[in-house]
Structure 1
């Protein structure tokens, strides 16, 4: 299921919802420990996991170059929010009868030509996370799936703009 995009007065809010048949502890560990994080979003590296802590966005180009990202909100096993350029990315976890609900909420200051690429990327990363939680680890990023999602998010962005 595609994310939803809602226009607010000064931004757009993109929300992905993933019901997962796994405990909050299991999902939290998958999104906050580098050993697991590297398996579904290999650019991110947790450096200091706390409110006002930091994450590195590694370029993974062989130069050890990274951008430092500030953690802007944190509540253990509930919320992890961080800067994403001019935007914000927020993971929220809540319990369900069958496991947990993961919400990824990205607050966008503006829609750009790059936006559908990012949205498709987050969508695929969440697919990889779900697979990892279900015992399937991917060795490479599924570009064909990304291309399909990119086309879908490009259309969604075009619809939101019109």
Structure 2
């Protein structure tokens, strides 16, 4: 399901929801356990899993950017800086599994925004596939969602 994107006071929100047939603790491990994290977002590495801690982003050139963990509630909330924006994962139990919400607070829409949105979309699909024991062709999926997010951004910015 495509993210809901809306204009808010200081920018934009992109809200993704996934209803997963897996317990909160299992889904949480994909967000915070480096071995599992590498399977869906290989550039991220949790360095210090605590509020005020650090998630490192591998820039691919031997350097790392440090993203600050802004809020952490075990098996419930992981929010971190995403350069000038923020990314927040929320987990809550529901019948037969859990709800995974990803909320990206976007300061300014740029030409790169649809790329990021498509990337997060595919990341969530990959997490679900991994939990279900499946695989996804990421590049092909990303291309499809990238085109859709270009259109979604156009809708929101023309309001």
Q: TM-score range by the shorter chain?
A: over 0.9
Distance in 1 between residues matched to 2:110 and 2:39, nearest whole Å: 28
- Aligned pair count reads 158
Whole-Å Cα distance in 2 between the matches of residues 13 and 96 of structure 1?
24
Per-residue deviation, 1:9? 1.4
What is the Cα deviation at residue 136 of structure 1? Answer: 2.6
Give TM-score scaled by structure 2 length: 0.96
1:15-55 deviation per Cα after TM superposition (whole angstroms, max 9, x unaligned): 00000000011001111100000000111000000100000
> What residue is the counterpart of 1:14 in the other structure?
14
SS in 2 for 1:48: coil
Question: What is the aligned partner in structure 2 of residue 143 from structure 1?
Answer: 139
User: Does residue 64 of structure 1 match 2:62?
Assistant: yes
Aligned to 1:118: 116
The residue that corresponds to 1:159 in the other structure is 155
- Name stretches of at least 5 consecutive residues in structure 1 with no aligned partner: none
Which consecutive unaligned segments of at least 5 residues does structure 2 have?
none
Q: Deviations over 1:113-156 (max 9, x none)?
A: 11000000000111111111111356xx6211111100000000
Instruction: Give me the whole-angstrom Cα distance separating, in 2, the residues matched to 1:9 and 1:56.
Output: 29
Task: Return the alpha-carbon distance in structure 2 between the equivalents of residues 113 and 157 of structure 1.
Answer: 10
Alignment root-mean-square deviation, CA: 1.1
What TM-score do the two structures reach when normalised by structure 1?
A: 0.94
Contact kept? 1:39, 1:137, Cα under 8 Å = no
CA–CA distance in structure 1, aligned partners of residues 20 and 40 of structure 2: 15
CA separation in 2, counterparts of 1:80 and 1:119?
18
How far, CA to CA, are the matches of 1:9 and 1:30 in structure 2?
A: 32
2:126 is aligned to 128
Say which SS state the counterpart of residue 47 (structure 2) adopts. strand
Counterpart in 1 of 2:103? 105
